[in-house]
Amino acid sequence: MKPYTIKDRANTLLRSTAFSHGSASVIAILSGLLFGFIILLISNPSQAFDGFIIIMKGGFSTGAKGIGQVLYFATPLILTGLSVGFAFKTGLFNIGAAGQFVMGSFTAIFIGVRWTFLPAPWHWIVALIGAAAVGGLWALIPGLLKAFFNVHEVISTIMMNYIGMYLANLLVKLTVYDSLKNLSMNTAETATLPKGGLDNIFYNIRGGSGTIDLSTVNSGIYIAIGIAILMYIVLNKTTFGYELKACGFNQNASRYAGINEKRSVVLSMVIAGALAGLGGGLLYLSGANGRHLKVIDVLAMEGFNGIPVALLGLSNPIGIIFSAIFISYITQGGNYLQSMDFVTEVIDIIIACIIYFSAFALIIRGIIAKILKSRKSEEGDL
């Protein structure tokens, strides 16, 4: 009989860990959906089942256009999820994605409105680069505070969220403000992201009139997926990624191994901020005249929704792609509930429940891991 080697045990532990991680996310999703169904039963028992079916249909409820909308709204979630997940992998909790996102959004809009001397495609490319750069600079401050003064990044990034929100409002009013609409101005056509052929796939044809109803999905989804793959390679296939993760696990051991832990902390936050800022650029450089930044005192939900996206995706860049699409899918399904006898607030409650339960993924993961570990120990004693 072949002896049970250390390599075999390592592979067994890896499979057990993967199983526990995946099970945690599945249980979190099912728990959130179950709680959402209970909310539907309480609010409107007669239509609860039909309403739940609509949620589960998601974007499929409105055909190809609906699927396109799922991908469109998943695009910024992939980037904010990567922002939070990248920080998690390096031992940091970037709760400031909302502020980094809105600062990146403003930068993309500003370049899209004012830098009309740039031709396409350079106009939207420069706008996206600017959005990522400003998002990274916005995260630089919490990174420096963490690295050199040991200020916890949760506190500093929360404060930067509000500073970013009010600063973006001020800058919009000073530079690209449309006072008649209380919104930012239209971006130039050259700053609009190309469709990338997706307009030939995700559209509906209205019956009778034959009018084509296009979705707003564009090549931003390609960029988001490409960035996710790049982050996976950086974290898992490069020395740089290894150093960042090593500092996250143990800064003292990393310092002993010759790794500059302060540099790693700062770079981790800057990269996380750049990802969130890029997400803002991808969202707001869409449509004929781009999306418009509203001058309101509300933090960008895309930044906070990046947290459950990262949790459900287990902070794995590839997993984050699928978890972002799932969150967007459920959100679109919730929006279609308005066609039934449900008040608008019920939609927000259901989505919030799913997001809330996703936060228990880490706890559930730990419990499953302990159970599997205890079973392996019992098998080893036999």
Write the pLDDT tens digit of every residue in 40-54.
898 888 888 988 898
Neighbours of 117 (CB within 10 A): 9
pLDDT at residue 77 above 80? Answer: yes
State which H helix or E strand residue 183 sits in: strand 183-184
Residue type, 59: G
Distance CA 178, CA 295 (A): 10
**Phi and psi at residue 153, to the nearest 5°:** -65, -25
Rounded alpha-carbon distances, angstroms, from residue 242 to 236, 252, 261: 7, 15, 12
Q: Is residue 349 part of a domain?
A: no
DSSP SS3 for 258: coil
194 lies in a domain?
yes
Q: How far is CA 46 from the centre of its chain?
A: 35
Written as six digits, the tokens of 30 are 């099912």
Asked whether residue 187 is domain-assigned, the answer is yes
**Long-range contacts formed by 37-40: CB under 8 A, 24+ apart:** 39/346, 39/349, 39/350, 39/353, 40/342, 40/346, 40/350
In the predicted model, what is the mean pLDDT of residues 297-310? 89
**CA angle, residues 132, 138, 143, in degrees to nearest 5:** 110
pLDDT of 13 reads: 43
Is residue 18 in a domain?
Answer: no
Cβ-based neighbours of 253, under 8 Å, separated by 6 or more: 246
Q: What is the pLDDT of residues 163-180, one digit of tens each?
A: 999 999 999 999 999 988
Residue 238: what pLDDT?
94
As beta bridge partners, residue 204 has 213
Q: Which of 288, 311, 290 is nearest to 366 (CA)?
A: 311
pLDDT at site 178: 92
140 and 269 Cβ atoms separated by less than 8 Å = yes
Tell whether 345 is covered by a domain. Answer: no
Dihedral angle sign, alpha carbons of residues 334, 338, 344, 346 = negative
Write out pLDDT tens, residues 114-133: 999 999 899 999 999 999 99
Residue 203 three-state SS: strand
Q: What backbone torsions phi and psi does residue 194 show, to the nearest 5 degrees?
A: -70, 155
DSSP string, 213-248: EE----THHHHHHHHHHHHHHHHHHSHHHHHHHHHH
* pLDDT (0 to 100) of residue 288: 65
pLDDT at 97: 96
Strands (E), 61-121: none
Note whether residue 171 is domain-resident: yes
**What confidence score (pLDDT) does residue 376 get?**
65
Domain-located, residue 27: no
For residue 108, how many C-alpha atoms fall within 13 Å in the half-sphere facing its CB? 33
pTM score? 0.89
Average pLDDT, the chain: 86
- For residues 204 and 65, the answer to whether their CB atoms sit within 8 Å is yes
Q: 72 is in which domain, residue-wise?
A: 64-313
Average pLDDT in the 91-101 region? 95
**pLDDT on residue 98:** 96
Does 97 reside within a domain? yes
Record the tokens describing residue 202, joined without a space.
């995700």
**Number of structural domains the chain divides into:** 1
Predicted pLDDT of residue 366 = 64
The arithmetic mean of pLDDT across residues 258-263, rounded, is 90
- Collapsing DSSP to helix, strand or coil, 123 comes out as helix
Per-residue pLDDT of 189-212, as tens digits, reads: 999 999 999 988 998 887 666 678
E strands within 40-139? none
137, 143, 149, 152: CA torsion to nearest 10? 130
